[in-house]
Structure 1
Amino acid sequence: MAWIRRVRTASGATAVQIAESVDGRRRIVRHVGSAHDGAELGLLMAQARQLLEGDAQGELDLGLSIPVPRAAMVPAPSAATLFDDPAGPVGRRAVVAAPQVLRTSSAVLYDALAGVYTDLGFDALGDEVFRDLVIARLVEPTSLLDADRVLADLGRVSASLSTRSRTLRRCQDGAYRDQIAKLCFQHARASADVSLCLYDVTTLHFEAADEDALRKVGYSKERRVDPQIIVGLLVDRGGFPLEIGCWEGNKAETHTIVPIIEAFAARHQINDLVVVADAGMLSAANLKALDEAGHTFIVGSKNAKAPIDLASHFRWHGDAFTDGQVIDTLTPKAGKNKGNDPALRAEPVWDPEQYPTSWRAVWSYSARRFARDNKTLTAQENRAKAAIEGNKPARTPRFVKTRTDGLVLDDAALARARRLAGLKGLVTNIPTTVLPASEVISSYADLWHVEQSFRMSKSDLRARPLFARRRDSIEAHLTIVFTALAIARTVQARTGLSLRRVLRQLRPLRSATIEANGTIRTLPPALGPDEHALLNDLGQTDPRH
């Protein structure tokens, strides 16, 4: 006859063993394990019962419901021999109900993201509901109503919908964005150089039919006619977010850069900031305002200005360029170029005192860019010819002129565009003695980081479409996206992986909450070498410890 016995060990645990009696003598058949609490005892008792029952002997099911007592930990005996059973007959016959899983969750993922949130200092806000909304936005962007489902999957008990709504109002009333921006600046300054910042804008549309004071129909790169807002994002050289702002949807992009730069400089008391932006920010008023505020800039120039800036080169060298060639010259602040004399072969060296009506212009030529530009121009030429032949497109393509006798190809404009293919111009107010042309070009090349941050906010964080209606809710939504973007960029920097890959690797790791022997306990998942390495990169420890 075999039975399950529980024995108190010297370490204070309860050992679960299978014993049998043969010819009146007792012996231990198998040591199942040692339990240190009720849940472990329940699991070991269930495992021992399965081993004891096996499949060698069937049971007659009489349909009787037998009460299952809870097995208790064996207390420390005063004196016990090897085969003494302190629990007595009841202990030998005690069985427990089979353990059952109550729920599973991706608690490892939540803890990892919450750890990054804390490392960035965002816990200084003291708002756990805001933190949960940010992490939910990172894991699975959804509506405010559906956020509780995402948080439940992460092992969190979500606050009520009304509490989440109050958190959005508190986000605005408590100036969370200002605090987050200061913490982001401190993090960026400690880990990188914030003297150079990258700026760009995008649009976020709304699923709404009517406009209001903020949501306006304006220029959309996607050619949408829905109300939208303009969002400007300022990041450091590595793409880490520093400032975010929003304006009316019909506001010109060029009117956004000065307000956000001034707010950033005033918040952090910066007097010598280098701002890098694309050609969309190029306007005489913007450059003048930044220069008068004491800031320096590197802004993309439009190719239409190349014939004026490179007049000397075209006169003395024609339209021939070599791969990697750089021409450091002048560009007029407004009107004609009075500083560059085409009669002189040498390009002038820009100096703010010698050329007060000009900015410095750096033009570079790339053979790869030439091939790409030429391919684009050929495609535009083909669309223009198709329109002339009668295939009416949705809008008039480039290089098409309208005459009294119909549409014709604008050969002069096409030839002029091909002549400038491969050129990229930059305008700056940084003298050559401070920043050589090669570094001006490399600084502008970092602008892709802000574009990547915008792509992350639109795709991974799904900042659009927006379903909020009131301005404070829209601003609170952007604050959550801004905070989530800071965490996402930190995760990417620490692991070298995209946020999507990190989520794909950590979210399937499920912690299980089980009920065994009347005790509820949460067991962490098993981790492989890749998961261990990923958590170490994120600064997290093994959840089993």
Structure 2
Amino acid sequence: MQIVRKHRGKVTILEHLGSAHSEAELAALLTAGEEKLADYGAAEQLELELGLPADTAAPPRARTVVGSRSSILIDAITQSWKRLGFGEVVSDNAFFQLVLARLVEPTSKADSLRVLSELGIEPPHHNTFLNCLVRANERDYRGNIAEKCYAHSVATTGISLLLYDVTTLYFEAEKEDALRQVGYSKERRVDPQIIVGLLVDRTGFPLEIGCFEGAKAETHTIIPVIKAFQERHQVTDMVVAADAGMLSAKNLKELDDAGLRFIVGSRQTKAPHDLATHFRWNGEYTEDGQIIDTITPKGVKRLDPDRVKKKREPVWSAEEHPDAWRVVWQYRRKRAMRDEQTLNLQRNRALAIIDGEKPAKKARSVKVTDEEKAFDEKAYERAMKLTGFKGYVTNIPAGTMSAAEVISSYHDLSHVEQSFRMSKTDLRARPIFHRTRDAIEAHLTLVFTSLAVSRFMQEATGASLKKIITSLRPLREFTGRVGGQDITFDPEVTGEAREIAAELLPGRFPGH
């Protein structure tokens, strides 16, 4: 389409407007042409009658916006869902919409309707969401999603090393029930809670989730989750890493009896006995980064005291040391400085309690005898001598995994902590509005699925979930009605947002 001027039989092309391949595009070009004619001072000199169908309800040449949606963000999450294979095993649009809404803005099921509407998606009825959570339990969405998570991990990272940790989710409820119970709380809370165990691969990608009674000891959660994972995928050869909270003689024996290899954080109080040989021959001096590969007793039985007569540390094997595990200790000066700072803060707090400056609460190194309080200097000195040491208990022989590999594998546990932080903050895992076990389990299935999609998106882009959402959410696709025809205008995607979108939507953005 062109704008031309005809003067005394001579035609001059003033401007080329473009080519139309549909009635909607032609309507848009005609409207643009009419505006251009006004610029040339010829708006009323001619009337183009091309016989195009028009919307009789709309005045001629009307231009209105009839809708918009965050198309790039919606498409990115949809593609991530499909690339993980979730759409193959969960054919439930309402469940997907709950996942999408939770990724974008974690909120209640009822308020998810608002989130979807703001994204430009027509939301379903609230009852549709409630019914889909019932289906999630009845049709085992969690099991189906877990199968796809396993397949993704095997194809990318591998499951040779699995990481396990637990967290607590609290409820503002007056009464306990069979699931929501008052239990041990690091925050010293007395609210009913549940225990959630999460198993992930070494990158933090979720593989299995478990829900337990709030009063259940954390050490009693790891075996059920590991066994559920094994039975679901028929896996036998893998290494499980967990923090010192999982360190119990029964847990380690059950993991070993199941043919599983483990790496578990040791408690610092075990260092004097485990490192007796090292301290005997080296005194209190330890080089920064020094690693001591030795053995630790399986239970209450002590190690042979005569072992310290030899300078060389024993090399663990299941056959030669049936009553011991392998333990790797490492000393780091940076850790020692951090430990010393923590101990000094605890010392100052204890002294303040003794002097009556702070309320009497349980504090480290406060010794109470006959209603009198005193600072336990010996306990403080013992703790100071052990600063900087960190131990790792395992049943993996040195010939299979070096001490340095044991340490680095354990430190991958930070990915579990990241996943928990994400599920409790970015995804708000706390099921405040749920009361029954079925509803809580369905909610955790939703959080587990959302966590998998978010980890996939973060791994693909190298950006945090928050960065992905804030970058792509403002990019809106607009639908306008021009001359009775609906035309969609794609958003302009540039800079960092384009780089993120290109990773999540392969082939959509040339040049990336």
TM-score of the superposition, structure 1-length normalised? 0.87
Distance apart, 1:431 and its partner CA: 1.4
Correspondence list, 1:353-392, <5 A: 353-392=319-358
In structure 2, the partner of 1:117 is 81
Distance apart, 1:532 and its partner CA: 3.3
Alpha-carbon distance between aligned partners in 2 of 1:324 and 1:285, rounded to the nearest angstrom: 31
In structure 2, the partner of 1:496 is 462
Correspondence list, 1:51-450, <5 A: 51-54=36-39, 72-73=51-52, 96-124=60-88, 125-339=90-304, 341-393=307-359, 395-404=361-370, 406-450=372-416
Question: Aligned residues: percent identity?
Answer: 51
In structure 2, the partner of 1:64 is none
Distance apart, 1:154 and its partner CA: 2.7
After superposition, give the CA deviation of every residue in 1:389-435 in whole Å (9 maximum; x if it has no partner). 11123623211111236211110000000010000011111112221
Q: Secondary structure at the match of 2:236?
A: coil
Distance apart, 1:147 and its partner CA: 1.3
Q: Secondary structure at the match of 2:109?
A: coil
1:71 touches 1:95 (CA, 8 Å); kept in 2?
A: no
Alpha-carbon distance between aligned partners in 1 of 2:384 and 2:334, rounded to the nearest angstrom: 14
1:235 touches 1:241 (CA, 8 Å); kept in 2?
A: yes
Alpha-carbon distance between aligned partners in 2 of 1:265 and 1:299, rounded to the nearest angstrom: 19
Distance apart, 1:233 and its partner CA: 0.4
Alpha-carbon distance between aligned partners in 2 of 1:70 and 1:137, rounded to the nearest angstrom: 51
After superposition, give the CA deviation of every residue in 1:117-157 in whole Å (9 maximum; x if it has no partner). 10100001212221111111111111111112222233322
1:69 touches 1:95 (CA, 8 Å); kept in 2?
A: no
After superposition, give the CA deviation of every residue in 1:274-332 in whole Å (9 maximum; x if it has no partner). 11000000001101111111111110000111111112222232222111111111111
1:42 touches 1:71 (CA, 8 Å); kept in 2?
A: no
After superposition, give the CA deviation of every residue in 1:446-487 in whole Å (9 maximum; x if it has no partner). 111111111111111111252111111111111111111111
Alpha-carbon distance between aligned partners in 2 of 1:70 and 1:415, rounded to the nearest angstrom: 96
Moved more, 275-284 or 310-319: 310-319
Distance apart, 1:171 and its partner CA: 0.5
Alpha-carbon distance between aligned partners in 2 of 1:33 and 1:302, rounded to the nearest angstrom: 74
Residues 141/543 of structure 1: CA separation in 2 closer, same or farther (3 Å cut): farther
Residues 55/459 of structure 1: CA separation in 2 closer, same or farther (3 Å cut): farther
In structure 2, the partner of 1:10 is none
Code of the aligned partner of 1:428? T
Q: Which has the higher contact order (CA 8 A, sep 6+)?
A: 2
1:298 touches 1:428 (CA, 8 Å); kept in 2?
A: yes
Q: Which of these residues, 481, 496, 507, is aligned with residue 515 of structure 1?
A: 481
Distance apart, 1:526 and its partner CA: 1.3
Q: Secondary structure at the match of 2:363?
A: coil
Moved more, 313-322 or 535-544: 535-544
Residues 42/222 of structure 1: CA separation in 2 closer, same or farther (3 Å cut): farther
Distance apart, 1:20 and its partner CA: 5.5
Code of the aligned partner of 2:263? I
1:108 touches 1:543 (CA, 8 Å); kept in 2?
A: no
Q: Secondary structure at the match of 1:342?
A: helix
Moved more, 220-229 or 383-392: 220-229
Code of the aligned partner of 1:53? A
Distance apart, 1:72 and its partner CA: 4.4
2:293 touches 2:326 (CA, 8 Å); kept in 1?
A: yes
Number of residue pairs matched by the alignment: 502
Residues 347/25 of structure 1: CA separation in 2 closer, same or farther (3 Å cut): closer
Runs of 5+ unmatched residues, structure 1:
1-14, 60-67, 75-93
Code of the aligned partner of 1:151? L
Q: Secondary structure at the match of 1:356?
A: coil
Code of the aligned partner of 1:231? V
